[in-house]
């Protein structure tokens, strides 16, 4: 943060201390294979309330998707099935918006680029694991909605899958107290 903002590390730390004191941010330790501990700061519920929401983006895409559904597509489907279908289509629309930003030749390059795409709306990072990759998004603007209706996460999951050209799974650990959404991209897929 100090490098990105052109400020001294002590200045950044002081600002983070103030934000913690005011219950606007909290932190968690991120695992690394070696080296000094790495801490990820995230917004608390109070911090989220102070920032503008992007619900208008989600609402706009969702309304566009719902109005394009045909009677044949909706016939005999439950409300939950329709929500899943709509959120998946929102993911396709999001992928179309970002496709030109994800051009990597291999899966690892595309995962890095997808994390940068997510970083436009959230803080994000990624890591290589023995089984593939994990993409983490912190401070998701839809987190509070996702806690009670996880179908909203299908939009990001579908977007990532489209952009990576690979299967993407979402972990089921999302909770109001968990500061991140994690998406798993297994190896051997989309390479």
Query: Model confidence over 137-162: pLDDT tens digits?
Result: 876 767 777 777 888 888 889 999 99
Query: What is the model's pLDDT at position 30?
Result: 73
Asked if residue 48 lies in contact with residue 139, where contact means CB atoms within 8 angstroms, the answer is yes
List the 180-186 sheet strands across, edge first. Answer: 123-128, 132-138, 180-186, 169-170
Residue 44 confidence class, pLDDT cut points 50, 70, 90:
confident
Quick check: pTM over 0.75?
Answer: no
Q: Which two tokens stand for residue 81?
A: 């099935």
pLDDT, mean over the chain: 83
Asked if residue 42 lies in contact with residue 27, where contact means CB atoms within 8 angstroms, the answer is yes
Res 173 pLDDT > 60: no
Q: Which two tokens stand for residue 36?
A: 């000094």
Domain residue limits, the chain: 1-51, 52-186
Per the model's pLDDT, the better-predicted residue between 61 and 174 turns out to be: 61
In the chain, % helix, strand, coil (3-state, to 5) comes to 50, 20, 30
Query: Model confidence over 64-103: pLDDT tens digits?
Result: 898 898 999 999 999 989 999 999 999 999 999 999 999 9
- Return the CATH class of domain 52-186: alpha beta
How many CB atoms neighbour CB 94 within 10 A?
Answer: 22
Query: What is the model's pLDDT at position 179?
Result: 65
- Give whole-number Cα distances, 182 to 16, 72, 172, in Å: 24, 34, 9
Kindly indicate whether the domain formed by 1-51 is annotated with CATH number 1.10.10.10: yes
């Amino acid at each position: 943060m100090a490098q990105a903002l052109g400020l001294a590390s002590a200045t950044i730390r002081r600002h983070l201390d103030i934000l913690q004191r005011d219950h606007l941010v909290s932190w968690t330790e991120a695992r690394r294979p070696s080296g000094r501990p790495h801490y990820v700061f995230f917004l608390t519920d109070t911090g989220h309330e102070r920032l503008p929401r992007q619900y208008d983006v989600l609402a706009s895409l969702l309304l566009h998707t719902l109005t394009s559904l045909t009677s044949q597509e909706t016939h005999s489907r439950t409300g939950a099935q329709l929500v899943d279908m709509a959120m998946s289509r929102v993911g396709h629309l999001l992928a179309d918006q970002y496709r030109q930003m994800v051009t990597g030749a291999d899966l690892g390059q595309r995962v890095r680029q997808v994390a940068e795409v997510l970083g436009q709306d959230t803080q994000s990072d990624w890591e290589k694991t023995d089984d593939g990759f994990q993409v983490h998004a912190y401070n998701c603007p839809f987190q509070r909605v996702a806690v009670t209706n996880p179908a909203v996460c299908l939009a990001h999951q579908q977007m990532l899958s489209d952009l990576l050209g690979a299967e993407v799974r979402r972990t089921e650990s999302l909770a109001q107290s968990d500061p991140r959404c994690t998406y798993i991209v297994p190896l051997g897929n989309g390479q």
